[in-house]
Chain A
């Protein structure tokens, strides 16, 4: 079943929930309703790379009661994985943990994941790397069949080039796609739901939410020319833009272009973190690492890239020339660079929680899903959401 069918409110092909399921999922059904729970139960998800955030996403989705989770990761357990990936364990005490180093991650994690919720089908693939799948999928249309069996694809800690390829495939199959990474105290998720019929506005159960949102969309319709919503008035069709838009930013599609000077100053730090993350995604695209999921940073090149990004976004602070990096900015940049490629459990928990919730929001129509780029700044606990559109 395609996600469109799955989300169709008229779709009644879903089998009713059993009383056992209703008892188990009681506290969430009371929040998002039986129908949403039925849709969740029909959803098949592909998750690429277990990782720290991946671990959190897996936990949340398996608990929520999805139909099937297919995990793709052919990496071996490394000691630093144990900092966040709590499924990588066997036995009751520490001695056993040494034994798992070097084994296939998913082989170790599978029993722990399955135990969380025996109702969910968990499948693992440790034979092929994601890169093989991507190369096949891009080269050979038939290999898309592998992706066709899912309703949704998530990548975690994946490099920019692979995300780009993956998003091409998901778009061609009309599959929603999420990409997320944690870098120490910082992180992001990107979402591409292609075109999403947002029914959450029609729901009256969250009056505050609704009125709040409709105010907002009215405002944004007035203040910007289009792009935000498909049609003007009451349509709730949300248009999403592909991963590629993160790589082709300029002052025209800058998410910061409408910020006033004062906002730039009061929100400077979180804007800077957002710019650093966007720069990192671009840097990773331009200078792909040999080890594909570990970005190696050359600080000079990163600086250069950042300068370009400031310029491209026409973003500068305190009357200085674009591209010139201030002392304060440099300090923050130092912190940021120091965090790249680190996994940190609270950040993984927050990002993994918000990403899994976003998927459930998409399936339940209780809240509007994020459109389309969310940043987590662990220093300030801010989680700004930007819409990054395609270059015109």
Chain B
């Protein structure tokens, strides 16, 4: 039999031809990416482009099976392609890229448009949201996937036909009030957060004097506490200078220890109010510092002793051991600064894989924990919390990649009609391994898929004759807001029918509204028009749906500008529950201002408040880009998934008008 005779038999020769000529994009060559690439290749897909910016790391090798120890530090995308070349079909073409998918200079909209289908195998929300938007512009289907530990999900998305990635609110990482971190910690994670994001950043990170010094961000109304914290911070800046002023590294290290763990704690203790309901911290015993100070012969600080402690990274270190590790890391970090080309401006970023920075964070967090009578943690555990490590295993990735590959067939209407594709969750129930559900319609309040998206093609962006006035005229001609305004004004008066719109380019640069017409005779080029920019058009009454136009240059155009005709811009969907500020006039115009993005923020909050539908797209096991996640993620993901499942069950019941029955299949 031929190599592809099985698949021909399973899906039919005709459908197989479609797969053979399909051109797909795989974003991510990590845990799910490696598995998915293998599946797609074995299924005989015609052309696969794979994009990943990352290089291979030792901790990838337990699951990213296309990589070997000798590949560490090499490009994931290129190495993966090389590995699968060994078993691909002759007809399959593979194209790797080592780049960020969000780099629009490398990947513009036209580039994305060449694919029949896009597979997301990503590890961060930003990139997922980015692909979502691209696919909304192109109305291109994509399959989202993610895993965390034993759990995973696959979500096929057909833009404007089914729920998009942004339709469901993603969990925002937990944050702690500054005063909990700075003066009244009560959990190990508070101390770890303090060590990594405050102490380390203050000593070795970018100097940012103004940060966190106003009352609002400190989250406390205790004046005494605020003053103490501000002083503390200013003193730290002096301490940073002591990197250069100290006579020896040991002196530098001990000064820091004395200041942080004795002096600062004593100052906090003076604020009686703080300790009325809390246990009082006990500053570090000065005799311990003296002991280390007098360790001239380096008995405690002997390299072999240090190595011994560091090799026991799963153990809970004693106070003494933590002090030794802290001194050791401070000495190393100081050395790195002094040995750099430009010591005064040299900064070190915290990185969980940078031993010095991790040792620093682990030991200083633990010493602080001991002072505040909080349990200490092993360096192994602290690495997970400080480094946002999400557990990841081969088996879950293999299963989810399998489902992603399987669901991709529906895009070609193979197993079912494409809109009958399934969302697949791993199940925690004992009666089923998966929990598939039908696709949901897009959320009516989704900020992403309730926007109209079209292309704005410009023949020659450099053409100085193309002014904003020309563009505005074209917009008002082609985009019809009429229906809504018909009722309110005189029907015959064409001019009065013209809505008042505002135009924004890029994120929030307002270039036109009814009271701001200064730019009308400026050329588009001078206003910052270029390829891959997005133009947002809003009506000032905020009744009609927003329109986003993606700017493309197209030399083949017969006219200077092409905007598709939009006969009737639909009204903006009403928000469900206007919980916040119910008195606000919904017609109040929204103004755009470069310096003030509060308005956008407020909108986001509204959506958060309004939505009870809840989903978490999980990560594939690599560390997310976002630095604010913490170790509670997994647990929260699980409960979020349960939550989601409940909602699904509920909705399914609702839709099918069937009463939910507990299946007892294994009786």
- Where the two chains meet, the residues of A that have a C-beta atom closer than 8 Å to any C-beta of B are 19, 22-28, 30-31, 34, 56, 59-60, 63-65, 78-80, 82-84, 86, 88-94, 97, 115-117, 184-185, 206-209, 212-213, 216, 219-220, 223-224, 228, 255-260, 262-263, 266-267, 338-339, 342-350, 352-354, 356-357, 360, 366-368, 370-371, 374, 378-387
Contact = CB atoms under 8 A, between A and B. Distances in A.
25 contacts: A22-B380, A28-B392, A28-B393, A30-B391, A64-B394, A86-B38, A185-B415, A208-B428, A220-B664, A257-B667, A258-B665, A259-B663, A263-B663, A345-B38, A345-B402, A349-B38, A349-B399, A350-B399, A350-B403, A352-B398, A353-B398, A353-B399, A357-B150, A357-B395, A383-B433
A187 B632 CA distance: 36
Contact of B434 (A83, A90, A258, A382): A382
Given A208-B638, A345-B43, A381-B403, A354 B395 contact: yes
Contacts of A78: 1
A346 B150 contact: no
A333 B358 CA distance: 59
Contacts of B397: 353
A94 B393 CA distance: 31
A346 B36 CA distance: 9
B584 to A, nearest CB: 39
Among B7, B150, B399, B415, find the residue whose CB has the most chain A CB atoms closer than 10 A. B399
A353 B62 contact: no
B65 interface: yes
A386 B621 contact: no
A63 B393 CA distance: 9
Given A220-B664, A257-B667, A79 B1 contact: yes
A82 B6 CA distance: 10
A27 B432 contact: no
Contacts of B639: 208
Given A219-B664, A349-B35, 11 more contacts: A60-B395, A60-B398, A80-B2, A83-B5, A86-B38, A213-B430, A259-B664, A350-B403, A357-B150, A383-B433, A386-B665
Contacts of B605: none
B149 A31 contact: yes
A385 B666 contact: yes
B507 interface: no
Interface string B614-654: 00000001000000000000010011001000000000000
Contact of B402 (A30, A256, A260, A349): A349
Given A31-B150, A78-B1, A360-B395, A382 B432 contact: yes
Contacts of B427: 383
B424 interface: yes
Contacts of B666: 220, 228, 255, 371, 385-387
A188 B665 CA distance: 16
A22 B313 CA distance: 10
Interface stretch (B84-92, B214-222, B493-501): B84-92
Contact of B6 (A115, A184, A216): A184
Q: Which 6 A-B pairs have the closest CB atoms?
A: A349-B402, A383-B433, A353-B398, A31-B391, A345-B42, A350-B402
A381 B393 contact: no
A56 B59 CA distance: 21
Nearest to B664: A258
Given A89-B86, A212-B428, A223 B42 contact: no
B570 interface: no
Nearest to B433: A383
Contacts of A381: 403, 406-407, 422, 424, 434, 436
B558 interface: no
Contact of A346 (B313, B405, B434): B405
B642 A208 contact: yes
Given A79-B1, A216-B430, A56 B42 contact: no
Given A346-B43, A353-B402, A209 B1 contact: no
A380 B422 contact: yes
Given A267-B663, A349-B402, A23 B3 contact: no
Most chain A CB atoms below 10 A, which of B39, B401, B424: B39
Contacts of A209: 428, 638
Contact of B85 (A27, A92, A263, A366): A92
Contacts of A184: 6, 9-10
B661 A30 contact: no
A339 B415 CA distance: 13
Contacts of A212: 428-429
Given A208-B642, A259-B663, A27 B391 contact: yes
A298 B627 CA distance: 61
Given A80-B6, A208-B639, A258-B664, A345 B405 contact: yes
B661 A260 contact: yes
Contacts of A256: 665
Interface in B26-41: 35, 38-39
Contacts of A267: 663
Nearest to B432: A384
Contacts of A93: 85
A218 to B, nearest CB: 12
A347 B59 contact: no
A224 to B, nearest CB: 4
B63 interface: yes
Contact of A30 (B389, B395, B433, B434): B389
Interface in B244-258: none
A27 B59 contact: yes
Contacts of B416: 379
B565 interface: no
Contacts of A224: 664, 667
A19 B311 contact: yes
A333 B457 CA distance: 52
Interface in B362-387: 380, 384
Nearest to B149: A31
A379 B436 CA distance: 11
B61 interface: yes
A214 to B, nearest CB: 11
Contacts of B424: 381
B646 to A, nearest CB: 12
A223 B436 CA distance: 26
A385 B658 contact: no
Contacts of B403: 346, 350, 381
Interface string B410-443: 0000011000001010011111111010000000
A258 B667 CA distance: 7
A120 to B, nearest CB: 12
A107 B430 CA distance: 39
A374 B665 CA distance: 11
A78 B6 CA distance: 12
Nearest to B406: A346
Nearest to B621: A27
B222 to A, nearest CB: 36
Nearest to A367: B150
A387 B395 contact: no
A255 B58 contact: no
Given A208-B642, A347-B402, A350-B403, A384 B667 contact: no
A383 B1 contact: no
Given A79-B1, A255-B666, A346-B402, A378 B38 contact: no
A296 to B, nearest CB: 15
B206 to A, nearest CB: 29
B314 interface: yes
B612 interface: no
A252 B42 CA distance: 42
Contacts of A89: 86-87
A349 B43 CA distance: 12
B665 to A, nearest CB: 6
B399 A79 contact: no
A335 B493 CA distance: 64
A213 B87 CA distance: 42
Contact of B667 (A97, A223, A344): A223
B68 interface: yes
